[in-house]
Amino acid sequence: MSQAPDIDSKKLTANIKAGGCAAKLGSAELASLLGGLSGNHDECLIAGIEHFEDAAVYKISEDLAIIQTVDFFPPLLDDPYTFGQIAAANALSDVYAMGGKPVFALNIVCFPTCDFPLSVLKKILEGGADKVKEAGASLAGGHSIQASEPVYGLSVTGLVKPSEMLTNGGASPGDVLILTKPIGTGVALLGLKGEQLEEGAASELIDSLTGLNDIALAVARSFKINAATDVTGFGLAGHVREMARASGLVAEIDTCSIEYLPGVLELASEGFVPAGAYGNRQSFSDFVSYIKEVDLAYQDLLFDPQTSGGLLLAVGEDQARELLQALKAEGLQASIAGCLIEGDNPGRVKVF
């Protein structure tokens, strides 16, 4: 007689092909799918799918607009509570990227009860709930289904004044790109899974993944931010490309000034690069060029799909250094990622 599997010892990431934002469809695939879709024209819908915004924004009055977003994915590590925190932080980030404040969230749950005990799901939900509470929002319910692999995330509703809404377009020539978190989560997670990430580096990774972008937005509010987005599944190069395209400008990325998570350059050099990075490279290959020779590890990290990444802020050159210092004063590992300039073929990204 065969013995039943021990579901209490099964890893959360067992049989997961891609976890976190690395599981998302690629940019080219999304563009193809969404290109033929259209709904009713509504002047109150002031942000939608046209420029791959982080969330939809619907204007209620001159002083109030609703932000609506949804984000979910399979586990990217085995601790259920931490997974719940990361998934929630990632979903909440879209509201911050639009300049808003989260007010309530709904759970989205797919869970294989035949493979894992409900205590695992309970911990996932607790992690998400604690992160929603930290954001000052309320958890208002949700929806759950049986599925072949675990998936968790949130639908988040936020509020913003229309005049204070941020979008990924609207940047001006000469704007400096400020990144509020280090990059390399996809590479670091692969190293963690392969037991190649040192303990200190692993701790910094988790801190980055679970960290909210609320402080970054609060600091940015004291400056004139011309455009904003958060860096997630398309990688830094992909999200810079989207901002440049939406703003009608050309972007330059300085690989030497960007903050990277500890250990990721070495890991990328050793081949710890997630499949999603290769997908991003293929999707954006027609738009990214190199001004000088750039080491392959740096290239891979530009395309590395980020989970719960930082905000990417376009700010005038006259305010950039002050903003950078203000972010660092709050303990954020902020850095200058590059700039936006005028040029032929808007939407192109030049890397050096």
Please tell me the pTM assigned to this model.
Answer: 0.92
318 and 201 in a common domain? yes
Q: How many domains does the chain have?
A: 2
Q: Is the pLDDT of residue 120 over 90?
A: yes
- What confidence category does residue 9 fall into, taking pLDDT thresholds of 50, 70 and 90? low
Give per-residue pLDDT as tens, 73-87: 999 999 999 999 999
- Neighbouring residues of 352: CB distance < 8 A, sequence distance ≥ 6: 252, 253, 254, 255, 290, 291, 292, 294
Q: Would you state the structure tokens that stand for residue 12, as one six-digit string?
A: 């959360």
196 and 150 in a common domain? no
21 flagged as catalytic: yes
- Neighbouring residues of 32: CB distance < 8 A, sequence distance ≥ 6: none
Residue 119 lies in a domain: yes
pLDDT of residue 82: 98
Domain boundary residue, one of 133, 164, 195: 164
Domain boundary residue, one of 102, 137, 164: 164
- What confidence category does residue 5 fall into, taking pLDDT thresholds of 50, 70 and 90? very low
Higher-pLDDT residue of 48, 175: 175
Domain boundary residue, one of 120, 137, 164: 164
CATH code, domain carrying 223: 3.90.650.10
Residue 6 lies in a domain: no
Average pLDDT over residues 114-143: 98
133 and 48 in a common domain? yes
Sole residue written with tokens 């200190």: 200
Higher-pLDDT residue of 1, 180: 180
- What confidence category does residue 6 fall into, taking pLDDT thresholds of 50, 70 and 90? very low
Sole residue written with tokens 């250990």: 263
183 and 143 in a common domain? no
Residue 9 lies in a domain: no
* Integer angstrom CA distances of residue 259 from 54, 151, 226, 254: 23, 30, 22, 11
Listed range (32-41, 63-72, 154-163) with the worst mean pLDDT: 32-41
Average pLDDT over residues 197-219: 98
Give per-residue pLDDT as tens, 167-176: 999 999 999 9
pLDDT of residue 34: 72
Q: Is the pLDDT of residue 7 over 50?
A: no
158 and 38 in a common domain? yes
- Looking at the chain, the whole-number percentage of residues with pLDDT higher than 70 is 93
Average pLDDT over residues 41-47: 89
CATH code, domain carrying 71: 3.30.1330.10
Higher-pLDDT residue of 41, 95: 95
142 and 50 in a common domain? yes
pLDDT of residue 28: 67
Average pLDDT over residues 26-49: 76
214 and 267 in a common domain? yes
133 and 185 in a common domain? no
188 and 124 in a common domain? no
- Look over the chain and give the mean of its residue pLDDT values, rounded to a whole number: 93
For 112-119, which contacts have Cβ atoms below 8 Å and span 24 or more sequence positions? 112/146, 112/147, 112/148, 112/149, 112/150, 113/146, 114/7, 115/7, 115/10, 116/7, 116/10, 116/12, 116/150, 117/7, 117/8
Whole-angstrom distance, CA of residue 250 vs CA of residue 286: 14
Residue 7 lies in a domain: no
- Neighbouring residues of 119: CB distance < 8 A, sequence distance ≥ 6: none
Q: Is the pLDDT of residue 55 over 70?
A: yes
329 and 186 in a common domain? yes
Residue 51 lies in a domain: yes
The active-site residue out of 21, 44, 114, 256 is 21
- What confidence category does residue 1 fall into, taking pLDDT thresholds of 50, 70 and 90? very low
Listed range (50-64, 67-81, 229-243, 295-309) with the worst mean pLDDT: 50-64
Q: Is the pLDDT of residue 4 over 70?
A: no
Query: Dihedral sign, CA of 195, 200, 201, 204?
Result: positive
Average pLDDT over residues 97-115: 97
160 and 222 in a common domain? no
- What confidence category does residue 52 fall into, taking pLDDT thresholds of 50, 70 and 90? confident
pLDDT of residue 330: 98
Average pLDDT over residues 84-110: 98
Residue 13 lies in a domain: no
Q: Is the pLDDT of residue 317 over 60?
A: yes
Which range marks the domain in which residue 210 is found? Answer: 176-351
pLDDT of residue 286: 95
pLDDT of residue 17: 72
185 and 295 in a common domain? yes
Residue 169 lies in a domain: no
Task: Give the number of residues written for the chain.
Answer: 352
- What confidence category does residue 3 fall into, taking pLDDT thresholds of 50, 70 and 90? very low
Residue 205 lies in a domain: yes
